[in-house]
Structure 1
Amino acid sequence: MKSNKLYDEQRIKVAQEAINGTKISFLARKYSVSPSTIANWVKFYKERFGEQATPSVSERIEDAKRVQELEDKMDTAIKLLGEKDLEIELLR
């Protein structure tokens, strides 16, 4: 029973990724599942959860802003790391 629950959670996760805009062909390769299977999961997920299954425009905008913030933080961290590496190299 536990493995079925895990499998259901994985299907929901894949369906959510597809609904959020990830291409089904990419997901099919990533999870080694046929595209038609993923399309069926998406259909089932939308039928089960209705409008809540599809993120609203404001949710997508918030997600995009959050992604941009995280990318900016990552760029800053990489720059600082590079500076520290250079500083360490100079001190040797």
Structure 2
Amino acid sequence: MTRDMEKTMERIDPLELISDPKLSNLLNISLRTFARWDADPNNDFPAPVIINVRKYRRRAEIEAWLHKRALASLEPAAKPARRPPTATASQA
């Protein structure tokens, strides 16, 4: 973790909550997408904290999730396996 990132993480209150509508606006992701991600057990999107029927997310968990996605996007994609050349009539 870089020094700047450590400083940023120190300033984030791990208990600070962001409502789903506010997070939806910040990330430009629909509330319906959050619902789909919540329903998918294979998704690593942070689980909601439900207070009086409203959904909130922990800011620290959202920051970590965004950081993880940013790092994943920088990794080179796996190259597809090369198929061996097929024999042509002239090679047989």
Q: TM-score, normalised by structure 1?
A: 0.29
**Does 1 or 2 have the higher relative contact order (CA < 8 Å, sep 6+)?**
2
Structure (1/2) with the larger helix percentage: 1
When Rg is computed on C-alpha atoms for both structures, the one with the higher figure is 2
Structure (1/2) with the larger strand percentage: 2
Q: TM-score, normalised by structure 2?
A: 0.29
